[in-house]
Chain A
Amino acid sequence: MSNAIHLHYEVSGEDFTRAGEASGLVKKTLKKLGYNSDAIRRVAIAMYEAEINMVIHAEGGYCDVDIYPDRVEILLADKGPGIPDVEKAMQEGYSTAPDNVRTLGFGAGMGLPNIKKYTDDMRIETTLGVGTNVYLTVIVNS
Chain B
Amino acid sequence: MGNYFHSVELNADKCCGCTNCLKRCPTEAIRVHGGKARILPERCIDCGECIRICPHHAKSAYSTKIEEIGNFKYTVAIPAPALFGQFNGLDNIDFVLTGLKKIGFDHVFEVSRAAELVSEATRRLIKEDKLKKPIISSACPSVVKLIKIRFPELCDNVLNLLAPIEVAAKIARREAMEETGLPTEDIGIFFITPCPAKVTEIHSPNYAEKSEVDGAIAISKIFPELAHAMDHLEEVEPIAQSGLLGIGWATSGGEAAAMLGDKYLAADGIENVIRVLEELEDEHIRDVDFIELNACSGGCVGGVLTVENPYVAQARIHNLRKYLPVSLNHIDEGKSLDDMMWTEELTFDADIFRLDEDIIRAMEMMSQMEEIHKGLPGLDCGSCGAPTCRAMAEDIVRGKAKETDCIHKLKAKIQSVYDQLKNTI
Closest Cβ of chain A: how far from B307's Cβ, in Å? 38
Interface flag for B70 (CB, 8 Å): no
Q: Which residues of the partner chain B approach A33 to less than 8 Å between Cβ atoms?
A: 354-355, 359, 362-363, 366
B363 touches A67 (CB 8 A): yes
**B162-182: which have CB < 8 Å to A?**
none
Most chain B beta carbons < 10 A, residue from A3, A35, A37: A37
Interface flag for A84 (CB, 8 Å): no
Given contacts A37-B152, A45-B283, contact A3 B355 (CB under 8 A): no
Nearest-neighbor residue (CB-CB) of A142 within chain B: B359
Select which of A29, A48, A67, A142 is within 8 A of B284 by beta carbon. Answer: A48
Select which of B354, B360, B367 is within 8 A of A31 by beta carbon. Answer: B354
Interface flag for A98 (CB, 8 Å): no
**A40-68: which have CB < 8 Å to B?**
40-41, 44-45, 48, 67
A29 touches B366 (CB 8 A): yes
Closest Cβ of chain A: how far from B156's Cβ, in Å? 11
**B352-374: which have CB < 8 Å to A?**
353-357, 359-360, 362-363, 366-367, 370
Interface flag for B16 (CB, 8 Å): no
Interface flag for B281 (CB, 8 Å): yes
Closest Cβ of chain A: how far from B398's Cβ, in Å? 11
Closest Cβ of chain A: how far from B272's Cβ, in Å? 16
Closest Cβ of chain B: how far from A104's Cβ, in Å? 12
Q: Which residues of the partner chain A approach B353 to less than 8 Å between Cβ atoms?
A: 31-32
B281 touches A34 (CB 8 A): no
B153 touches A34 (CB 8 A): no
Closest Cβ of chain B: how far from A22's Cβ, in Å? 13
Given contacts A29-B366, A48-B282, contact A34 B348 (CB under 8 A): no
Interface flag for B380 (CB, 8 Å): no
Of the four ranges (under 10, 10 to 19, 20 to 34, 35 or more), the interface on chain B belongs to: 20 to 34
Interface flag for B403 (CB, 8 Å): no
For the complex, what is the distance from the CA of A93 to the CA of B181, rounded to whole Å?
A: 67
For the complex, what is the distance from the CA of A29 to the CA of B357, rounded to whole Å?
A: 15
Most chain A beta carbons < 10 A, residue from B348, B350, B394: B350
Interface flag for A86 (CB, 8 Å): no
B354 touches A3 (CB 8 A): no
Select which of A29, A32, A41 is within 8 A of B281 by beta carbon. Answer: A41
A5 touches B359 (CB 8 A): no
Interface flag for A24 (CB, 8 Å): yes
A5 touches B367 (CB 8 A): yes
**A1-23: which have CB < 8 Å to B?**
3-5, 23
Select which of A32, A41, A69 is within 8 A of B354 by beta carbon. Answer: A32
Q: Which residues of the partner chain B approach A67 to less than 8 Å between Cβ atoms?
A: 363
Interface flag for B278 (CB, 8 Å): yes
For the complex, what is the distance from the CA of A105 to the CA of B281, rounded to whole Å?
A: 18
Nearest-neighbor residue (CB-CB) of B355 within chain A: A32
Q: Which residues of the partner chain A approach B366 to less than 8 Å between Cβ atoms?
A: 5, 29, 32-33
Q: Which residues of the partner chain B approach A32 to less than 8 Å between Cβ atoms?
A: 353-355, 362, 366, 394
Interface flag for A27 (CB, 8 Å): yes
Nearest-neighbor residue (CB-CB) of B362 within chain A: A33
Select which of A34, A37, A38, A44 is within 8 A of B355 by beta carbon. Answer: A34
For the complex, what is the distance from the CA of A58 to the CA of B150, rounded to whole Å?
A: 34
For the complex, what is the distance from the CA of A29 to the CA of B360, rounded to whole Å?
A: 14
Q: Which residues of the partner chain B approach A23 to less than 8 Å between Cβ atoms?
A: 282
Q: Which residues of the partner chain A approach B278 to less than 8 Å between Cβ atoms?
A: 24, 27
Closest Cβ of chain A: how far from B295's Cβ, in Å? 20
Nearest-neighbor residue (CB-CB) of B350 within chain A: A34
**B31-78: which have CB < 8 Å to A?**
none
Q: Which residues of the partner chain A approach B363 to less than 8 Å between Cβ atoms?
A: 3-5, 33, 67, 69
For the complex, what is the distance from the CA of A37 to the CA of B147, rounded to whole Å?
A: 13
Q: Which residues of the partner chain A approach B150 to less than 8 Å between Cβ atoms?
A: 31
Select which of B284, B359, B394 is within 8 A of A69 by beta carbon. Answer: B359
For the complex, what is the distance from the CA of A4 to the CA of B370, rounded to whole Å?
A: 13
For the complex, what is the distance from the CA of A29 to the CA of B366, rounded to whole Å?
A: 8
For the complex, what is the distance from the CA of A31 to the CA of B203, rounded to whole Å?
A: 29
Nearest-neighbor residue (CB-CB) of A67 within chain B: B363
B360 touches A3 (CB 8 A): yes
16 contacts between A and B (CB under 8 A): A4-B363, A5-B367, A27-B278, A31-B353, A31-B354, A32-B353, A32-B354, A32-B355, A32-B394, A33-B359, A33-B366, A34-B362, A37-B348, A48-B282, A69-B360, A142-B359
